[in-house]
Amino acid sequence: MKRLLVTGGAGFIGSEFVRQALKRGYGVAVVDKLSYAGDLERLKRVSGEIAFYQADITDREAVEKVFRAERPDSVVHWAAESHVDRSISDATPFLDTNVKGTQVMLDISKNYGVQKFINISTDEVYGDLKEDGQFSETTPLNPSSPYSVSKASADMLGRAYYRTYGLPVITVRPSNNYGPWQYPEKLIPVVVLKALNNEKVPVYGKGENVREWLFVSDCTDGIFEILEKGSINDIYNIGSGEEKRNIDVVKTILQILGKPEGLIEFVEDRLGHDFRYSLNSDKLRAQTGWKVKTSFSEGIEETVKWYVDNMGWVKSKLK
């Protein structure tokens, strides 16, 4: 049985990856410091099937103990500080976790001879686009926020560790993920929570900014395709091809909930707000056969229903 070490496995996307890994027959060990956005509730259903270690990936000694105990074949590195607004308020935790933490993971993976290190990046490392065009894997990096700078740094660290030490790194750059279990600071859960409480729904600027929305299980499907079929020292974009203006996402959620658009309140725009992201994912599809299974219309219905049905969990995270 192939053994995976998954960092950030109690997070939103990481926990979906863990659940899928178990279904696919992998042995799984999870490292997560259980910060504000991490939650073992996401792994409750599979807690008896994994080895869990509460540890900060910047803690070299703690991480080394995990490697010594688990001897993973591959590492899938999800752990990260990920909220742009928080990075604008204070970049320090982003540099610590996303850069220093990634360096620790790369160093120890090198020392323990892992067969593959899947380094999860983001489409935000490319910067932004105007109305036209797409990012390919060869697009120069041009990050805008402290968050995206920290992820670009981690991204390039991984590639440097291949070049310098021969560590078998694969870099993955997904588009915006959404789905059940996302921490309620991101757009979709915020809109659901505010709308259900008949509160004003804040929308940055005029809501014209465009994101490419990828259902979380489709993203993790893509990661498995890359883990099993991807080329070492390569880069893969994972996107749905479904771009939506933020205002249209908000209106769709209000419509699903039967709430009026009058709840929308336009607020001062985010500092340095990227206008548009769009990924070309042809390479992933051509090399692995991966394809999106969940359309945005299907995924947003499922996601909104999940939040309505699990509002107790959402409110517990806001205390």
Q: What pLDDT sits at residue 228?
A: 97
Residue 319: C-alpha distances to residues 14, 219, 244, 312, 315 (Å): 23, 29, 31, 11, 7
Complete DSSP assignment for 29-87? EEEE---TT--GGGGGGGGGGSEEEE--TT-HHHHHHHHHHH--SEEEE------HHHH
User: Are the CB atoms for 237 and 173 separated by under 8 Å?
Assistant: yes
**Which SS3 state, helix, strand or coil, does residue 3 take?**
strand
Active site residue 147: yes
In a domain, 246, yes or no: no
Edge to edge, the sheet with strand 51-54 lists 51-54, 27-32, 3-7, 74-77, 116-120, 169-174, 235-238
pLDDT at 57: 98
Q: Which of 53, 147, 183, 236 is catalytic?
A: 147
Asked if the structure places residue 301 within a domain, the reply is: no
| CA atoms within a 13 Å half-sphere pointing along the CA-CB vector of 43 | 29
From the candidates 123, 218, 225, 274, give the one annotated as an active-site residue.
123
Structural domain boundaries enclosing 47: 3-175+216-238
**Closest C-alpha to 112, from 3, 234, 226:** 3
Whether 123 is catalytic:
yes
Residue 266 lies inside a defined structural domain of this protein: no
- Residue pLDDT, tens place only, 185-214: 999 999 999 999 999 999 999 999 999 999
67-80 residue pLDDT tens: 999 999 999 999 99
Residue linked to tokens 């909104």 = 304
Q: Return d(Cα 52, Cα 9) in angstroms, integer.
A: 9
Name the active-site residue from 124, 128, 212, 274. 124
In a domain, 286, yes or no: no
Show the tokens assigned to 94: 């982003």
Query: Please, what is the average pLDDT of the chain?
Result: 97
195 within domain boundaries = no
CATH code at position 171:
3.40.50.720
User: Per-residue confidence at 317, pLDDT binned at 50, 70, 90?
Assistant: confident
The residue assigned the tokens 């008949």 is 198
17: in domain: yes
Q: What is the largest CA-CA distance in the chain?
A: 57
Among 53, 71, 152, CA closest to 111:
71
CA 235 distance to own-chain centroid:
16
Question: Which tokens belong to 134?
Answer: 């797409």
Is residue 36 domain-resident?
Answer: yes
